[in-house]
Amino acid sequence: MALKVKKVLISQPAPVTEKSPYYDIAEKYHIQLDFRPFIRVEGLDAKEFRQQRINIQDYTAVVFTAKTAIDHFFALCEEFRIVMPETMKYFCISEAVALYLQKYIVYRKRKIFFSATGKMDGLSTALTKHNKEKFIVPVSDVHTEDLTAVLDEKKVGYTKAVMYRTVSNDITEQEILSYDMLVFFSPSGIVSLFKNAPHFKQEEIAIGCFGASTAKAVRDAGLRLDCEAPLPGVPSMTAALESFIKENHKAK
């Protein structure tokens, strides 16, 4: 890597706190860090959702794998003027996701189950116990099948309902090429990169990423991955970024 990295694009919203390690890195190494998400999530409206011919009121249980899913599920319910019956059962991938339900329902009085492991298999026991329910699973237009593998295994009757989608944010090819380094957090970020810059040539631009699936997407796209997390000794993206910048600034 010949170029000294001075300008970095982090494809994520800016941290909500001034105390973020990102700002410490920028100050310490005198680099410019810009936060620009390459993708955003938007909900389907009632008209689009109707095309799937799914009636939310036909279901007795719902599986939530993310807070985003909760937001878009209840947004559609509001649009359709559906009030969740008190008998509705909620199955959540983690306690944090379950607690987020308080934004929309009276938590105490409801039947809520959550996985202690933060993975779907942590719901196995609850799903076996309630396998006669009719489950609806709100998902994004792009999702992995392992999401419903546990439901298949437990022979639970369920319907996947696409309630939100990932769309690319517009950022020009010229803007992208003005950076010395790009940092990605999801495979859809890589898709968005080529959507916004179809002729993107990496050359001296460094690429960093977080997560194994993102790393795979970078390599599958024929790009060179210069900085990766989590790896042994570098648990976070900021740790990996700092170590990379430090080495990069040393090499004159």
Q: What is the DSSP string of 37-105?
A: -SEEEEEPPHHHHHTT---GGG-SEEEESSHHHHHHHHHHHHHTTPPPPTT-EEEESSHHHHHHGGGTS
In percent, the amount of the chain with pLDDT more than 70 equals 99
27-38: pLDDT as tens digits: 999 999 999 998
pLDDT value, residue 238: 96
Residue among 16, 25, 19 nearest 183 (CA): 25
Check residue 1 and give its pLDDT: 47
pTM surpassing 0.75?
no
Q: Over the stretch 195-246, which tens digit does the pLDDT of each residue have?
A: 999 999 999 999 999 999 999 999 999 999 999 999 999 999 999 999 999 9
Residue 136's pLDDT is 97
Of 189, 231, 233, 234, whose CA–CA distance to 207 is shortest? Answer: 189
Cα–Cα dist 104/72, whole Å: 11
The DSSP H or E segment spanning 247 is: helix 237-250
Q: Is the pLDDT of residue 2 over 60?
A: no
pLDDT tens figures, 139-165: 999 777 777 889 999 999 999 999 999
What is the rounded average pLDDT of the residues 124-144? 92
For the chain, which domains are there? 7-38+170-250 (3.40.50.10090), 42-166 (3.40.50.10090)
For residue 106, the model assigns a pLDDT of 86
pLDDT of residue 148: 87
pLDDT score for 252 = 60
